[in-house]
Structure 1
């Protein structure tokens, strides 16, 4: 079981010598959610050691160039590498024209494995293998959606209670499948007798947005939140004008939503490496949990399941 974020790029509108345009691959038990493939994503995938075969979803938040200009290269790589499984593409339905332009941006041997899933409205739930992918609108000058991945809730078996009820071996699997099992003494043992609820794990991705209801709905209680922090607080007015967040606002949202691990990304080119500690400090003023300042090619594991 592998659940990790592979960071492919962390710049905002303009790439820098140290940061490529956006690109984030969330690997989750065989599913691969590629969020916002910006320009250069195909090459960054090579550096990160991931391939087109690892992608099962392409999720575009909106159609500003730094979040989508890598789509043609990724599509062509999917075709060139003869990816055989279905790759679903989620993006704002309002940007259908831009998706079509990117999807067919040049002459190349095409592929039939890409299935489009345009999203609209206040919430869209998309089945994605073992998880559900949810899209919610964000606040940006163009139509923009954030995404959330949720594992279904389950139950954690209690060995001591299983032993006390005489449930052993294959009987445990039968109890999990059917909800009841007949114990050796003839009594009926219910799943609730030998287990406790186990919340499913979750991750959320919010790019290019002001603070809004969508941000909070996506981030509520997630194990891993990847969120833009384009500006520092000194540029808060500029952030609001252009539809972005500051690091302090990202930390505030994470704190109010009970996030476990916060990943800051999408940094303006105006800041240098010397400014990076300031992003951590400003986010940390409100959020006391773990904060990761994303860098290109780093891998961030989804926090281990809470017992």
Structure 2
């Protein structure tokens, strides 16, 4: 599980940073990637990255401002032109379906794969044996959502020493035990999975927020996350402007991370007034005063989610 940032700027792109899009790579977990927001130029960023659009499985849109959705029609159309056939599901606020259908229809774009658009107002959006995705409304000028992605716990590895003590050799019986079944040893002794499985592998939790100013739903949504991605459009000296435009400061993001008890905070969605990494350093410094384990997201930056 890794996050790959395709754009970290707010509002408009600059020569240094594109507008918002984040890929969650789940290559080991489900051989796919999920995209969070798709600002203009996202498909160009993908071309310059190790990401493959054939791996795209789901797109989660936080809100309908242009810097988060203007890249969608082109990306969907190009994916089809490249021969991708696997289905894609898009989740977003009310209006996202009309935007996609109108854009593709008027431009006479063809999508030769199954495309499902799910409009939502929060709650549990997706769940299977491996993952659960839930959403909550934030506080922005447009209806904006945050997403909590929970990887479910997985069975632990087999205890090879215990298996040897039972006289069990590598083969199909190992697979049955791994699936939680019971097996018999060559001498007829019954061995239960619980006898030979190590502790379960704890699933990871990632919370990715859309644009927001401080609000009540942030902490419950992010509670105990291994990684929180939080917008930090301004330094705290501009908190009045941040509040007026429904954005957050780096310090406010750090306060949310501290209150939610997350393990790591990733700042993104920076105002274009902060031209480069040198100008972003003060945002990082003020956030670290409250939450030391904070990092600045960078375009084309790959960040593993630690277990």
Deviates more, 1:50-59 or 1:160-169: 160-169
Cross-structure match for 1:276: 280
Q: After superposition, where does 1:218-237 map in structure 2 within 5 Å?
A: 218-237=221-240
2:13 counterpart of 1:15: yes
TM-score (norm 2): 0.87
Q: Give the Cα separation in 1 of the matches to 2:253 and 2:160.
A: 41
The counterpart of 1:177, out of the listed 176, 179, 183, is 179
Query: Displacement of 1:107 after TM fit?
Result: 2.4
Q: Give the Cα separation in 2 of the matches to 1:276 and 1:294.
A: 10
Query: Displacement of 1:164 after TM fit?
Result: 5.7
Deviates more, 1:73-82 or 1:270-279: 270-279
Query: Displacement of 1:221 after TM fit?
Result: 2.2
Q: Which has the higher strand share?
A: 1
Task: Mark the runs of 5 or more structure 2 residues left unpaired by the alignment.
Answer: none
Q: After superposition, where does 1:89-104 map in structure 2 within 5 Å?
A: 89-93=90-94, 95-104=96-105
> Is the contact made by 2:84 and 2:113 (CA closer than 8 Å) also made in structure 1?
no
| Distance change (3 Å), C-alpha of 1:173 and 1:106 | same
> Is the contact made by 2:223 and 2:260 (CA closer than 8 Å) also made in structure 1?
yes
> Is the contact made by 2:12 and 2:272 (CA closer than 8 Å) also made in structure 1?
yes
Cross-structure match for 2:201: 198
Cross-structure match for 2:218: 215
Cross-structure match for 1:107: 108
Query: Displacement of 1:196 after TM fit?
Result: 2.1
Query: Displacement of 1:187 after TM fit?
Result: 5.3
Q: Deviations over 1:140-163 (max 9, x none)?
A: 121111122222112324445555
> Is the contact made by 2:209 and 2:231 (CA closer than 8 Å) also made in structure 1?
yes
Task: Mark the runs of 5 or more structure 1 residues left unpaired by the alignment.
Answer: none
Cross-structure match for 2:138: 138
Q: Give the Cα separation in 1 of the matches to 2:136 and 2:45.
A: 28
Cross-structure match for 1:287: 291
Q: Give the Cα separation in 2 of the matches to 1:253 and 1:179.
A: 43
> Is the contact made by 2:4 and 2:301 (CA closer than 8 Å) also made in structure 1?
yes
> Is the contact made by 1:13 and 1:66 (CA closer than 8 Å) also made in structure 2?
yes
Deviates more, 1:183-192 or 1:204-213: 183-192
Query: Displacement of 1:183 after TM fit?
Result: 5.2
Q: Deviations over 1:12-47 (max 9, x none)?
A: 012222111111111112121111110111111111
| Distance change (3 Å), C-alpha of 1:197 and 1:109 | closer
Cross-structure match for 1:150: 150
| Distance change (3 Å), C-alpha of 1:265 and 1:281 | same
Query: Displacement of 1:243 after TM fit?
Result: 1.8
Q: Give the Cα separation in 1 of the matches to 2:215 and 2:89.
A: 27
